[in-house]
Structure 1
């Protein structure tokens, strides 16, 4: 409860909408989970660690950007 108010200021605006900071943190944490999943599947399919790491490294950047943009579009849509 001590951290409740400072965290609200970081993660939501005055109207209670998600902040940009929250969207960034959510996109990073989700990408970590998604990238680990992609690397495990890539290794399972190819049997090559270097290929799995290569696929995972490309995927993490592109999907983080796409998720952030997707999150902001949804937040804009919720305002209307």
Structure 2
């Protein structure tokens, strides 16, 4: 059912490939949403390993910032690569 809706939607649209790729703000939104998921995972794993919520929160906080920045640049580099588009 969902696949049929997607196919019909694609047939109706006059989709033109965006040659510029994603805008940076989209990369930021994707990075933030993914980091929330990743940080919760890091928080749980850190707490499980240390048994201390303060240490786990510290680890998760640093992890959130560093990986958010890394993911943003990773997305921008991949956006510039023409392979697979």
Q: Same fold (TM over 0.5)?
A: yes
Q: TM-score, normalised by structure 1?
A: 0.77
Task: Count matched residues.
Answer: 67
Q: State the Cα distance separating 1:17 from its structure 2 match.
A: 1.7
Q: State how far apart, in whole Å, the 2-side matches of 1:70 and 1:15 are.
A: 19
Q: State how far apart, in whole Å, the 2-side matches of 1:78 and 1:38 are.
A: 33
Choose between structure 1 and 2 for higher RCO, CA contacts under 8 A separated by at least 6 residues. 2
The answer to which structure has the higher helix fraction is: 1
Q: Which runs of 4+ in 1 moved over 6 A?
A: none
Bigger Rg, which one = 2
Q: State the Cα distance separating 1:78 from its structure 2 match.
A: 2.3
In structure 2, the partner of 1:23 is 27
Tell me the C-alpha RMSD between the 2 structures. 1.8
In structure 1, the partner of 2:48 is 44
In structure 2, the partner of 1:4 is none
Unaligned runs of 5+ in 2: 1-17
In structure 2, the partner of 1:72 is 76
In structure 2, the partner of 1:63 is 67
